[in-house]
A and B are shown apart, each in its own frame.
Chain A
Amino acid sequence: MPTDGPITITWIDLALCSSLLLANGAVSMWLGLGLGRKLLIAGLRTVVQLSLLGLVLVHVFEAGNVWLVVVMGTLMILMASYEAVKRAGRRYRGVHRDVFTSLLLSASASMLFVSLLVLQTDPWWAPRYLIPLLGMVLGNSLTGVSIGLERCLSSFDEDRPAIELWIAAGAHPWEAARPTAARSLRSGLIPILNAMSVAGMVTIPGMMTGQILGGTEPGMAARYQILVMFLIAGATAAGTTGVVLLAVRAMFDEGGRIKRSVS
């Protein structure tokens, strides 16, 4: 087996791998789980979406156009925002705008930081680095953002009598909702904290695995993974903080009275 480069994966190899999904489908049928159709759709989506991504990335890498990278990054953030709101399950008027704003600011700031100061890529928007790293940042940030948002909106309902007590005593919205916001933030950050705690002990993270399979020396792969984890942690913390603050703001009117607009 060669050890200095990636093993070429053919469509036949992938077809062989799909037998694992077929086994899942068989278990689903045997236990009457009714997941067969969902497995089929999920499998097909994986193949189509990742193949398309591969094709698009080839063109983006070759084009070397900053605006193409910006458009692609913005689209990725838009899709991540949509998915984060969908996962949160609860919403209010303006939630899409707030989630998009949070993800845009947190992802942009963290990517610029890494591109300009850490990796010092030339140009700063080098798509080979920026797009995959942004994908990892968004994939993880949206988990934190959706959990933080869901906890914030559901806690706001549960804590409404306590929040209203503070409001009745003259508290400003942030003073009244601070404990609720703090709990929501903690919830949103737990997944990345857990991932960082077990990285290398229980799990070998996806990016490190990919790099090792791609022929990178394990020590370098580990350093890349550490960089990515710190990047994700920073972006998730910033994105979750942003979305919780904006959600809290959306719960009150300009006079600090609670609005009743969560659904």
Chain B
Amino acid sequence: MRLEARGLKKEIGGRELYRELDLRVEQGCTLAIRGPSGAGKSQLLRHLAGLDPNRSATIVQAGSISLNGRDYEQWDPFEWRSQVCSVPQQVPRLQGAPAELEDRIARLSVQRDRKSDDPRELAVSFGLSTELWERPWTELSIGEGHRALLAILLARCPAVILLDEPTAALDPDATAAVEERLKGATCVWITHSSDQAGRVGDEILTLSGETDAD
């Protein structure tokens, strides 16, 4: 699967974050995204994931995005989001344990008939113990929670995974484990580390957050 975007533009509250932005991520490749805080990196992931309406009271976004040559507009939006899956920067407040989240996600109507990997196996490859699968989210550290969430979403085999600083809360060993496991996956990966961008990115996109006023 190939993710391609042309002429992307986004404004929030009248502030233009990016415009005329093109990007392309080939199957099995990673596009690393860098840039200062507030440059619009996370907003770009939301744009690609189809999480924001194209036009609302505060947001204006435009441009074309396609997956394997099929335009976003031709996709069922729910199917698109299950294929171009965004992993948030922070684990939100969730009820129950990772096992329950795994079960509920597997039962979503759009996910029900999809093949999936074993998230526990993925979690182990991220350096986690399977014992924490039954522990409440509130008892997990930030790093454990993030890796458990990443394992659950990655196990659903999305075509593209959008990662917002997935290793920000991890120690070097865990970071290396995550980077290693994600090799070969099709990713858009936001990072503040130029070293990490160099390690994981087949290509690197830098957002400056500055656009020329017309």
Contacts and interface: CB of A to CB of B under 8 A. Distances in A.
A96 B58 CA distance: 23
Nearest to A175: B108
A170 to B, nearest CB: 3
Contacts, number: 76
Given A161-B92, A162-B92, A179-B95, A168 B57 contact: no
A162 B111 CA distance: 18
Contacts of B78: 170-172, 256
Interface in A171-193: 171-172, 175, 179
Contacts of A158: 93
Contact of A170 (B59, B87, B108, B149): B108
B110 interface: yes
Interface in A135-181: 158-159, 161-162, 164-172, 175, 179
A168 B50 CA distance: 8
Interface residues of A, number: 23
B180 interface: no
Interface residues of B, number: 32
A88 B86 CA distance: 34
Given A255-B53, A256-B77, A170 B92 contact: no
A253 B88 CA distance: 21
A164 B78 CA distance: 12
A256 B83 CA distance: 15
Given A175-B109, A179-B95, A170 B79 contact: yes
Contact of A165 (B58, B59, B92, B111): B92
A168 B83 CA distance: 9
Nearest to B156: A169
A71 B210 CA distance: 60
A257 interface: yes
B50 A257 contact: yes
A150 to B, nearest CB: 20
A164 B92 contact: yes
Given A256-B78, A257-B77, A260-B58, A169 B53 contact: no
Contacts of B109: 172, 175
B111 A257 contact: no
Given A168-B85, A170-B78, A172-B78, A161 B90 contact: yes
30 contacts: A159-B92, A162-B92, A165-B94, A166-B105, A168-B88, A169-B85, A170-B78, A170-B82, A170-B83, A170-B85, A170-B110, A171-B78, A171-B108, A172-B108, A172-B109, A172-B110, A175-B108, A175-B109, A255-B50, A255-B53, A255-B77, A256-B77, A256-B81, A257-B50, A257-B51, A257-B77, A258-B51, A260-B58, A261-B56, A261-B57
Interface of A: 158-159, 161-162, 164-172, 175, 179, 253, 255-261
Interface of B: 49-53, 56-59, 77-79, 81-83, 85-88, 90, 92-95, 105, 108-111, 149, 153, 156
Nearest 6 pairs between A and B by C-beta? A170-B82, A161-B92, A170-B110, A255-B77, A162-B92, A168-B86
Given A169-B111, A257-B52, 14 more contacts: A161-B88, A165-B88, A166-B108, A167-B81, A168-B81, A168-B85, A170-B85, A170-B110, A171-B110, A175-B109, A256-B78, A257-B51, A257-B77, A261-B56
